[in-house]
Amino acid sequence: MTFPVVGMVGGGQLARMTHEAGIPLGIRFKLLSDTPQDSAAQVVNEVVVGDYRDLDTLRAFARGCDVITFDHEHVPTEHLRALEADGIPVRPGPDALVHAQDKGVMRARLDAIGVPCPRHRIVADPADVAAFAAEGDGFPVVLKTVRGGYDGKGVWVVDSVEEAEAPFRAGVPVLAEEKVDFVRELAANVVRSPHGQAVAYPVVESQQVDGVCDTVIAPAPDLDESLALHAEEMALRIAKELDVVGHLAVELFQTRDGRVLVNELAMRPHNSGHWTMDGAVTSQFANHVRAVLDLPLGDPRPRAPWTVMVNVLGGDYPDMYSAYLHCMARDPQLKIHMYGKDVKPGRKVGHVNTYGDHLDDVLERARHAAGYLRGTITE
């Protein structure tokens, strides 16, 4: 058999769902996981438990893999270069991935290729933040550590020079950004292969609660067609210019004055693309696998007029399984995706997808199910 071996670094839910999507292709899937209990490690046959920050561990894992890809963006760049030097394809490669790891590098590069971003600058200390504020419309200002943040962590919205002290305490570089006056958040998701083929999923609306993605609506309702096309083209251009391989999520602000600005980049399957599992001809996970194997990409178009994804966060009830009875009986079309994680308050432990012809109905069904699973709805 000549079927390839895909090695995935990281045992989270993205790896779990990538494995699920890879099974039909008949490929072998190897996992490097922090623990044997990680979300993906529960469902994959070939699991290596080890620390991705240790080069020897990574190298031993990569031996026998035809390609290495990622559940997260935390593998040190120098390790990725070492794997490449060993002759292992790393997709996305370190030169692309750094833009998803370092917000300073990302902003500089997007500026250079003319992609619109919020006003921004690396700042040295609270006084510099005050200067940055004064250069624009004043406070509030958004401060971000250039590395390591996600789901609202490593991000501060500060209203004064005093409040600007906290981000500097860790001693890591800090990026200041204008607080964008946005009407909503969008995401443009694309997948690109090494030989340069790329596909764009419809632009979606992403609703955050407390800095964490809560609801995704595909396609984004009432989005001007030219703006949607502009966002898709922008994401495709970023993927090409940065030589991304695999899935690229471009998180966007839609501003009150009708522009789109890039908020964040993620170079892996992304929460804003989970709707594709049940709502698109080819899911983001299936296309990510195809891309890292340099196979032709699958059709990214939607299968229904509307698809809605709502995240299931951990709540006060640890027993989500008992909620299945109600949720499945109420909605036989409901798609539940649980990650095998212990329930902790606020932790993403799963998501639900619904699809159909009428957005109101599709949205209500997804929200009800997610709320019932979490325990905030008990009807």
Span 286-305, contacts to its own copies by CB under 8 A: 290, 295-299, 303
Q: Chain-centre distance of CA 379, in angstroms?
A: 32
For residue 83, the one-letter residue type is L
Span 133-162, contacts to its own copies by CB under 8 A: none
Span 64-103, contacts to its own copies by CB under 8 A: none
User: In which region does residue 258 sit, left (phi positive, over 0), alpha (psi from -120 to 50) or beta (all else)?
Assistant: left
Residue (225 or 321) nearer to its own copies, CB: 321
Site membership for its own copies, residue 321 (CB under 8 A): yes
Residue (24 or 114) nearer to its own copies, CB: 24
Site membership for its own copies, residue 315 (CB under 8 A): no
Query: For residues 260 and 338, what is the distance between their CA atoms, to the nearest angstrom?
Result: 32
Residue (4 or 371) nearer to its own copies, CB: 4
Looking at 87, 171, 258, 332, which residue binds its own copies (CB under 8 A)? 332
Please give the backbone phi and psi of residue 10, each rounded to the nearest 5 degrees, phi first: 110, 130
Per DSSP, the residues of 295-357 read PPPPP--BSSSEEEEEEEE--S----GGGHHHHHHH-TT-EEEE--PPP-TT-EEEEEEEEES
Query: For residues 13 and 4, what is the distance between their CA atoms, to the nearest angstrom?
Result: 22
Query: For residues 115 and 237, what is the distance between their CA atoms, to the nearest angstrom?
Result: 9
Looking at 171, 226, 257, 325, which residue binds its own copies (CB under 8 A)? 325
Site membership for its own copies, residue 369 (CB under 8 A): no
Record the tokens describing residue 85, joined without a space. 């030097």
Site membership for its own copies, residue 336 (CB under 8 A): yes
Please enumerate in sequence order all residues whose Cβ is within 8 A of that of 173, keeping only pairs 6 or more positions apart, or say none.
Answer: 104, 122, 145, 146, 147
- Minimum distance of its own copies from residue 336's CB (angstroms): 6
341 is in an annotated binding site: no
Query: For residues 322 and 305, what is the distance between their CA atoms, to the nearest angstrom?
Result: 31
Instruction: Compose the 28-47 pattern: x for residues touching its own copies by CB under 8 A, - for all others.
Output: xx-----------xxxxx-x
- Minimum distance of its own copies from residue 327's CB (angstroms): 8
Q: Which residues bind its own copies (CB under 8 A)?
A: 1-4, 16-17, 19-20, 23-26, 28-29, 41-45, 47, 277, 281-282, 290, 295-299, 303, 318-322, 324-325, 328-329, 332-340, 342-343, 350
Binding residues for ATP: 103, 144, 177-180, 185, 263-264
